[in-house]
A and B are shown apart, each in its own frame.
Chain A
Amino acid sequence: MSAAEFTLFLEAAVRLGIPLALAALGETISERSGVINIGLEGSIIAGALGGALGALAFQSAGMGVMTGAMAGCAVALVFAAFVIGLGADQIITGTAVTLGGLGMTGAIYQARFGATGTELSLPTLQALPIPVLDRIPLVGSALFAQAPTAYLAYALAPALWYFLFRTPWGLELRAVGEAPDAAKAAGVKVRWIRFFATLTGGILAGVAGAHLTLAHAGTFAEGMSAGKGFIAIAVVVLGRWNPILVLFAALFFGAASALQFFLQALGLDLPYQLFLALPYVLTLAALSGWVGRARAPAALALPWESE
Chain B
Amino acid sequence: MKPVLARLQGIERRFGSVVALDGADLEIFEGEVHGVLGANGAGKSTLLAVLGGMLAPDAGTMQVGGESVALRSPREAWAHGVALVHQHFTLVPRLSALENLALGRGRCTGLRGEAERLMERTRLRVPLDARIEELGVGDRQRIEILKALLRDPRVLVLDEPTAVLTPEETEGLFQLLREVAADGRGVVLVAHKLDEVLRVADRVTVLRGGQTVLTGTAGAHDIDELVRAMVGSDVADAMALGLPDVTTAASVPGATVSDQEATEPIVRLVGVGVKDGSVDRLSGVDLAVRRGEIVGIAGVEGNGQRELALVLSGRQKPSEGVADLPGGIGFIPQDRSIEGLVADFDLTENVALALHRDARFSRGPWLRWDALGEAAGEIRSRFDVAAPSVSTRVQALSGGNQQRVIVGREIGMASDFLVAENPTRGLDVAAAAFVHQELARLVAEGVGIALVSTDLDEILGLSDRVCVLAGGQLVSVPEGERTRVRIGALMLGGSGA
Contact = CB atoms under 8 A, between A and B. Distances in A.
Interface of A: 168, 171-172, 174-175, 178-179, 181-183, 185-188, 295, 298, 307
B218 to A, nearest CB: 30
Given A185-B74, A187-B73, A171 B103 contact: yes
Interface residues of B, number: 24
Interface in B84-117: 86, 89-95, 99-100, 102-108
A187 B73 CA distance: 7
Contacts of B55: 307
Contacts of B108: 168
B75 interface: yes
A183 B106 contact: no
B92 A175 contact: yes
9 closest Cβ pairs, A-B complex: A186-B104, A185-B90, A182-B90, A187-B104, A179-B92, A187-B75, A186-B103, A187-B74, A175-B92
Contact of B95 (A178, A181, A185, A295): A178
A193 to B, nearest CB: 11
B383 interface: no
A181 B90 contact: yes
Interface string B53-82: 011000000000000000001110010000
B82 to A, nearest CB: 13
Given A183-B104, A187-B73, A187-B78, A298 B94 contact: yes
A24 to B, nearest CB: 21
A185 B100 CA distance: 11
Given A168-B105, A183-B104, A185-B86, A307 B74 contact: no
Given A171-B103, A172-B103, A178-B94, A185 B54 contact: yes
Contacts, number: 56
Given A168-B108, A307-B54, A307-B55, A188 B103 contact: yes
Instruction: Select the residue from A174, A179, A185, A298 with max chain B CB neighbours within 10 A.
Output: A185
A186 B83 CA distance: 11
A98 to B, nearest CB: 28
A298 B92 CA distance: 10
A35 B108 CA distance: 28
A70 B75 CA distance: 34
A182 B102 contact: no
Contacts of A172: 103-104
Contacts of B107: 168
Instruction: Select the residue from A168, A183, A188, A307 with max chain B CB neighbours within 10 A.
Output: A168
Contacts of B100: 182, 186
Nearest to B104: A186
Nearest to B56: A307
A295 B95 CA distance: 13
B337 to A, nearest CB: 14
Nearest to B105: A168
Contacts of B99: 171
5 contacts: A168-B105, A178-B92, A182-B90, A183-B104, A307-B55
Given A175-B103, A182-B92, 16 more contacts: A168-B102, A172-B104, A175-B92, A178-B93, A178-B94, A179-B91, A179-B93, A182-B100, A185-B74, A185-B86, A186-B100, A186-B104, A187-B74, A187-B104, A188-B103, A188-B104
Contacts of A181: 90
A171 B54 CA distance: 21
Contacts of A171: 95, 99, 102-103
Contact of B74 (A178, A179, A186): A186
A187 B103 CA distance: 8
Contacts of A182: 89-92, 100, 103
Contacts of A174: 92, 95
A36 to B, nearest CB: 18
Contacts of B75: 187
Nearest to B49: A307
Nearest to A169: B106
Nearest to B77: A187
Contacts of A175: 92, 95, 103
A218 B105 CA distance: 48
Nearest to B89: A182
A183 B86 CA distance: 13
A87 to B, nearest CB: 16
Contacts of B74: 185-187
Contacts of B73: 187
Instruction: Select the residue from B55, B102, B147 with max chain A CB neighbours within 10 A.
Output: B102
B183 to A, nearest CB: 24
A183 B74 CA distance: 11
A258 to B, nearest CB: 36
A179 B89 CA distance: 11
A186 B74 CA distance: 7
A187 B90 CA distance: 11
